[in-house]
Amino acid sequence: MDPLQWTPHMSDCLEALERDKLWPSDELLAAFVRYQLVADEAQKLLVRDVMGESSSAPTYVFRKSLLAKLQAVRDGLPANMPITPVLQAHSLATEIQINSVGLFMQNIPVCQRIESMYSCLQAIRSWYDVFFGIPPEDVPGAPFAIYIQLSQVQIALYRLTTSEDPAWDKEFVRNTADLLVLLDQVVEFFTRLDSVYKMKTSEGEETVFAMGAKIMTNIRISWEPTLSRHLRNASSIPTNQGTGPPMPTPPPPSTAQASMDMVNINMIDFGDVTWMGDVFGPWEF
């Protein structure tokens, strides 16, 4: 799905929102828009990676300039504006997208590549902390974008976890953000939400968050064999990540299997609302 094209008139409207402040929420709306403008730039580069589009410059060279734009938005937020969890999540999701640009598709110099991978992993950990910190009673009112971000974050972490890069520290990945543990926590989170807000899309159907919990369980079951090959005994690691002793990294899967996993992942557009509708729609179990 192509985003709405940004126009000079939209820039004028955004500046008017920030200048006039007719409503208390105007500053918050403007912050969301400015984060999204940076995210859109990163998304275009990610699409270039997936589509294999050629260019005079590889996409990863734009990472620093995009991070600078993101930091400028953060630094420009009004000091008295409340920073909501949803806004924090949007900022971190943008950071994850930026650090993912070119990361899994190109031969990036090793120092830049590992720096991007670590930055991406830390932003992922922070995003999950913000997501799980949202009070259950507030989640039903959150924008649908938070669930799109959840899928984008999960797939970025999947790629980091299954990376074959010999310079990449898998123990650090496991101790920072164990994807199998986090999927369990998402299932538990959706189950708690279902007890607070039993929303149905139509009469007689299962509630939305109960269905979401089932879908996350299904994803975990599907991903566990591959993830466990990369992180031995990952499914048995407790949820207090970072406190346990390091475990040896398992031998990598076959090249054919690794290639198949990456192709399957790259075929999915996790920024596509239509796909998200299918995921949180009437799956059969």
Question: Cα–Cα distance between 223 and 164 in angstroms, integer?
Answer: 16
- Mean pLDDT rounded to a whole number for the chain: 80
Q: Please state the domain extents for the chain.
A: 8-279
3-state helix, strand, coil in the chain (%, to 5): 65, 0, 35
Which two structure tokens, joined as six digits, stand for 255?
């090249």
Which two structure tokens, joined as six digits, stand for 160?
């980091």
Looking at residue 188, its amino acid is: E
Segment 71-90 shows an average pLDDT of 94
SS3 22: coil
Q: Among 8-17, 154-163, 189-198, 237-246, where is mean pLDDT lowest? A: 237-246
Query: What's this model's pTM, rounded to 2 decimal places?
Result: 0.80
SS3 243: coil
- What's the Rg (C-alpha) of the chain? 20
Which two structure tokens, joined as six digits, stand for 166?
């010999």
Q: What percent of the chain has pLDDT over 70?
A: 78
Q: Is residue 36 within a helix (H) or strand (E), and if so which, with residue range? A: helix 26-51
Q: Do 180 and 227 contact (CB within 8 A), yes or no?
A: yes
